Amino acid sequence: MERIIRVLVAKPGLDGHDRGAKVIARALRDAGMEVIYTGLRQTPEQIVQAAVQEDVDVVALSILSGAHNHLFPRVVELLKEAGADDVLVFGGGVIPEDDIPFLKSKGIAEVFGPGTPTQTTVDFIRANLKRK
Partner 1 sequence: MSDSEEFKKALADWNVKNDKAAAKFPDRKAKFVTGSNAPVERLYSPEDLEGRDYMADLGLPGEYPYTRGVQGSMYRGRLWTMRQYAGFASAEESNARYKYLLAQGQTGLSVAFDLPTQIGYDSDHALAAGEIGKVGVAIDSLADMETLFGGIPLDKVSTSMTINAPAAVLLAMYIAVAEKQGVSAEKLDGTIQNDILKEYVARGTYIFPPAPSMRLITDIFAYCAKEVPNWNTISISGYHIREAGATAVQEVAFTLADGIAYVEAAIKAGLDVDDFAPRLSFFFNAHNDLFEEVAKFRAARRIWSKIMRERFGARNPKSCMLRFHTQTGGSTLTAQQPDNNIVRVAIQALAAVLGGTQSLHTNSRDEALALPSEQSVRIALRTQQIIAYESGAAETPDPLAGSYYVESLTNSIEERALAYLKRIDDLGGAVKAIEQGYVQQEIQDSAYAWQMDVEKNERIVVGLNKFQVAEAAPKGLLRVDPAVGERQVAKLQRLRASRDNGAVAAALAALKTAALGDANLMPPILAAVKTYATLGEICDVLRGVFGEYRPSVMF
CA dist., res. 28 & res. 122, Å (int)? 6
* Phi, psi at 27, each rounded to 5°: -65, -40
Examine residue 106 and tell whether it contacts partner 1 (CB under 8 A): no
Binding segment for partner 1 (CB under 8 A), chosen from 39-47, 54-62, 79-87, 103-111, is 39-47
CA dist., res. 105 & res. 30, Å (int)? 31
Nearer to partner 1, 66 or 131 (CB): 66
* Least spacing, CB of residue 33 vs partner 1, in Å: 13
Examine residue 119 and tell whether it contacts partner 1 (CB under 8 A): yes
Q: Reduce the secondary structure of 85-111 to three states and give it as a string.
A: CCCEEEEEECCCHHHHHHHHHCCCCCE
* Phi, psi at 24, each rounded to 5°: -65, -45
Examine residue 41 and tell whether it contacts partner 1 (CB under 8 A): yes
Contact 112, 125 (CB under 8 A): no
Nearer to partner 1, 13 or 91 (CB): 13
Examine residue 107 and tell whether it contacts partner 1 (CB under 8 A): no
Examine residue 49 and tell whether it contacts partner 1 (CB under 8 A): no
* Least spacing, CB of residue 43 vs partner 1, in Å: 7
